[in-house]
Amino acid sequence: MKAVGVIVEYNPFHNGHLYHIKEAKAQTHSDVAIAVMSGYFLQRGEPAIVSKWARTKMALKSHADIVVELPYAFAVQKAETFAEGAVSILGELQCTSLFFGSENGDIDSFLDTAIYTIKHKDELDEEVKRHISTGMSYPAAMAKAFHNVSDGTRALDLSKPNNILGFHYVKAILQDDIGMKPATLTRLSSDYHDIDLPEGPSHIASATSIRKSILETMSLSDSSSFLPEASAEELEEYAGTFGLWHSPENYFPFLKYSIHTMDTKELEGIYEVEEGLEHRIAKAIRTARSYSEYMEQLKTKRYTWTRLQRMNTHILTRAKKADIRSILAEKRPSYIRLLGMTKKGQAYLSKKKKELRVPLITKIGAFSHPSLDLDIKAGRVYSAPLKEPAQTMLTGQEYSLSPVIYDEENRTFLRT
């Protein structure tokens, strides 16, 4: 059986994702699609709108065959680390190809750019450092450095978010000599950063605009046409069971508490709190009345909103620099956490699991690792805004739930 890998967040799974995963299978002639998905907190530092279990169900009902979790230490990270962790998992699962969406849509541009940057690494690193020293953010410095070093002759625009991720996916494949063939698809219609739902006949909208609509209206009435039926069902069921859809504002009281109960030295030890940011954080939190107000006070030209959101999530989880760096020193995840699979996905894993070089985790009680401890802690933090008994129910799922199995022929779940 042939497998294609996709790296996703599904926050939530929408029509664009459905098109992407169908095309992934079709264009790579693959039997199964394996999704490496962020858990409770995402690459940009936001909480997922619903839990990883609900998003797994959305994916399995919509042509994904296997869903595994990208550990927190790799998921809530800059693009390079995020990509390295996800690509290594897909490599371990013996995917023959990796399929991703991009603004560019031309895989040769990604390959050329990745090869060029690997060959000119030292020169590029120096350029990036020079631009950062002027107060430029890392993504902007990287794009500028590449443009300068390559004399602007390369076609790939590294200022675009999906191009950036795709570039790091391809670079990780080449650097680690992972036997996967990368392929890309041009994103349809909506831009990644679009904040408003499109007007007219389009049924494709950005995940950002869909979340904004859902959280502002607290309903799916305006966004339902941009979602597969399976996603709408899971969103409604989650809100009915747990009482909310998660947003950064839900966590502001807990962030405030965390910062107020840390001294400066402890705050300085949190991952991504760098260069005196602890003093700026302490000052902003004293007067801010909401998460957005706090972020506006904290944001600078040098530190992007995304970087600061990730830092705030690390404060919430009390993820220490020493702990994250120790996990990342292993270069790749030390286990694969299985969240769900279709019957076809189950057949694929049955054939491949004996060849895996790292443990495939289906029950967390049977395995121990500092990275998994951090995943569990992230789940507890994620549940904090929920009222009882919903909070205990969600935290308990980490221990009680086996991987979800979806019978795609009969369209039913065999285990929940």
Percent of the chain at pLDDT > 70 equals 96
Binding residue per annotation — 187? Answer: yes
Would the annotation count 16 as a binding residue? Answer: yes
12 annotated ligand binder: yes
Domain ranges, ordered by start, for the chain? 3-103+186-244+332-415, 248-319
The answer to whether 20 is annotated as binding is yes
- Angle, helices 121-132 vs 107-119, to 10°: value is 90
Element (H, E) at 181: strand 181-186
Contact present, 140 and 50 (Cβ < 8 Å):
no
Does domain 3-103+186-244+332-415 match CATH 3.40.50? yes
What average pLDDT values come out for the chain (416 residues) when binned by 10 residues? 97 96 97 98 97 98 97 96 97 97 93 89 86 80 79 74 94 94 83 66 86 94 94 97 96 97 94 90 94 93 89 97 94 93 97 92 89 96 97 92 92 79
pLDDT at 210: 95
7 annotated ligand-binding residue: yes
Distance of CA 120 to the CA centre of its chain: 28
Q: Is 286 annotated as a binding residue?
A: no
Sign of torsion, CA 144 150 152 156? negative
Give CB contacts under 8 A, 24+ apart, made by 16-19.
Answer: 16/101, 16/187, 16/188, 16/189, 16/190, 16/204, 16/205, 16/206, 16/207, 17/62, 18/62, 18/63, 18/228, 19/188, 19/204
Residue 163 annotated as binding?
A: no
Cα 416 to Cα 340: distance, rounded to the nearest angstrom: 10
pLDDT in tens, 350-392: 999 889 999 999 988 878 999 999 999 999 999 999 999 999 9
Residue 99 annotated in ligand binding:
no
Which of 203, 212, 105 lies closest to 155, judged by CA? 105
* CA angle, residues 61, 231, 62, in degrees to nearest 5: 25
